[in-house]
């Protein structure tokens, strides 16, 4: 599974995610705002469609995404560990996830380059049954 990101110069300033696969995808996002770290999920994004995850001008340079393929299995993950859970969630803070009753999940980092708008494209590997796509490069944890 591959991830691509593009800068968007549209009139709307948003963080969007496009599912360019043949499956339904569940998506969670993490970011740091004035109050600290927040993770939110789940958006269910149908095949070949896009969804706005953060509306308005972006408040951070780095965002973190975790996505799962509901139909065929697999995930888009990384090494920036943050909290999540199976059901819909908004979680403040990224420390002690397990002790607080949440899952500890590896999100991949998206560097928006301080743009006002950004779109992440989730894609499948080039060939079914081929070697898995490389995982996005991330740090061990989110940037502070």
**pLDDT in the model for residue 91:** 98
Per-residue model confidence as pLDDT tens digits over 66-82: 999 999 999 999 999 99
SS3 readout for 49-84: EEEEEEECCCCCCEEEEEEEECCCCCEECCCEEEEE
CA distance 42 to 27: 5
Q: Count Cβ atoms below 10 Å from residue 30 Cβ, excluding itself.
A: 27
What is the value of pTM for the model shown? 0.80
Question: H-type helices in the chain, by residue range?
Answer: none
**Percent of the chain surpassing pLDDT 90:** 70
Per-residue model confidence as pLDDT tens digits over 103-128: 999 999 999 997 889 999 999 863 33
> Can you list the domains of the chain with their CATH numbers?
2-123 (2.60.40)
């Amino acid at each position: 599974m591959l991830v691509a990101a593009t800068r968007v110069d549209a009139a709307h300033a948003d963080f969007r995610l496009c599912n360019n696969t043949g499956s339904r995808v569940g998506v969670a996002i993490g970011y740091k705002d004035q109050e600290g770290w927040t993770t939110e999920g789940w958006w269910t994004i149908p095949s070949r469609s896009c969804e706005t995850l953060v509306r308005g001008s972006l408040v951070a340079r780095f965002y973190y995404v975790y996505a799962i393929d509901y139909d065929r299995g697999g995930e888009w993950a990384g090494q920036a560990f943050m909290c999540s859970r199976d059901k819909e969630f908004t979680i403040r803070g990224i420390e002690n996830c397990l002790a607080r009753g949440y899952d500890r999940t590896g999100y991949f980092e998206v560097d928006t380059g301080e743009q006002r708008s950004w779109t992440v494209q989730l894609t499948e590997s080039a060939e079914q049954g081929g070697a898995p796509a490389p995982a996005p490069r991330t740090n061990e944890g989110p940037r502070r």
